Amino acid sequence: MPSSPIRKLTPLANDAKARGVKVYHLNIGQPDLPTPQVALDSLKDVDRSVLEYSPSPGFLSLREKLSGYYSRFGIQLSPDEIIVTCGGSEAVLFAFLACLNPGDEIIIPEPAYANYMAFAISAGAVIKTVTSTIETGFALPPVEAFEALITPRTKAVLICNPNNPTGYLYTRAEMNRIRDLVKKYDLYLFSDEVYREFIYTGSPYISACHLEGIEKNVVLIDSVSKRYSECGIRIGALVTKNEQVRDAVMKLCQARLSPPLLGQIVAEASIDGTEEYAAEMYEEYVERRKCLVDGLNRIPGVYSPIPMGAFYTVARLPVEDAEDFCAWCLSDFEYEGETVMMAPANGFYSTPDKGKDEVRIAYVLNKQDLQRSLIILEKALEKYNQVKR
């Protein structure tokens, strides 16, 4: 299995910290905002004598709340169509294990969230990628590129929308193209929509669940990690109107017994009464996005498209080997006792040599830290290009 491109350079960051260098983490998508107070309070109010297993598909009360939550986005689901998982991560793994046989193929636009690769390998499935490019802002590659990869083993298309790592948001026309492809070849559509709250352009959010005619093909991956700043409670969901898929997923759920009990209590408390929280969070990310993207594009030789959603961007740097540059920032560079850690983007591509001069940057730091990171990045690029030439 490949190492995570997000964590690959961690030993170098630890060494830098041990030398007393402050490291700004632009590499990881762990939101820094406080978790909603109602969620924290629900944990304090836990009044149980036994912290027991919960039902394998998750508490009915949570699934009912989730059903109400999805209806706010125009997605009508009964609680039975929602299975609570141990994070979106387990939902991805269970979707692969339930729908694919070893050797089956999934087509994914790259760059892509790197853990899909690890889960596909765990399920014996094979990932085939169509490449989206920075020049088009990482728009959906043409349908012909997907069709060129279709073989008798192709069973699914996977999209992440809004996208990690690119921040791209698929348009209605693009979603319709995906729908037509899925329908034509009768494929599963795995749609990872864990960033639906993070859409900044006013463009409509088109869920895979909004697409007509492929209701039974869609498996939605969801998570509370990002939208409520609750990465540690490990609660996600696998949602599908396909009963056979649910039956297969339930066998896996029964084998792992139960999703986290305390996490479900917190997730349930977070669904209602967090509108103000969501609005504040949204404003904060709008400003951070502007601060980061404007700042990046002001640095000579750096280019970042304007991401429409999530809290990442993939930027091109004026270096030949971004992985070497990211490692060098941690091992050989500091500016006034500080440096930056970024994720080299080549780890998000499976095509060799793609993304070699790109990095993924997460904007989950406050604006002051982001501004400081941009100054450090500019100094680092200047120095690196002097040293390397």
Ligand X SMILES: Cc1ncc(COP(=O)(O)O)c(C=O)c1O
Q: Is 193 in the site for ligand X (CB under 6 A)?
A: no
CA atoms of 325 and 385, how far apart (whole Å): 9
For 358-370, give one letter per residue: b (16+ CB within 10 A) or e.
Answer: bbbbbbbbeeebb
Side chain identity, residue 29: G
CA atoms of 194 and 237, how far apart (whole Å): 10
For ligand X, the closer CB: 119 or 335: 119
Interface stretch with ligand X, choices 83-91, 183-191, 288-296, 336-344 (CB under 6 A): 83-91
- Closest separation between CB of residue 299 and ligand X, Å? 26
Cis, bond preceding 165 (omega within 30 deg of 0): yes
- Closest separation between CB of residue 263 and ligand X, Å? 10
- Closest separation between CB of residue 318 and ligand X, Å? 27
Torsion of CA 63, 66, 70, 72, to 10 degrees: 130
For ligand X, the closer CB: 88 or 334: 88
Contact (CB, 8 A) for 106 and 150: no
Q: Which residue in the set 223, 229, 270, 304 belongs to the binding site for ligand X (CB under 6 A)?
A: 223
Beta bridge partner(s), residue 188: 156
- Closest separation between CB of residue 113 and ligand X, Å? 4
Q: Is 264 in the site for ligand X (CB under 6 A)?
A: no
Interface stretch with ligand X, choices 86-94, 133-141, 246-254, 351-359 (CB under 6 A): 86-94
Q: What are φ and ψ of residue 358, in 5° steps?
A: -120, 155
Give the N- to C-terminal CA distance of the chain in Å, as an integer.
Answer: 35
Binding to ligand X by CB under 6 A, coded x per residue (else -) over 21-60, reads --------x-------------------------------
- Closest separation between CB of residue 236 and ligand X, Å? 4
Binding site for ligand X (CB under 6 A): 29, 87-89, 113, 160, 164, 192, 194, 223, 225, 231, 236
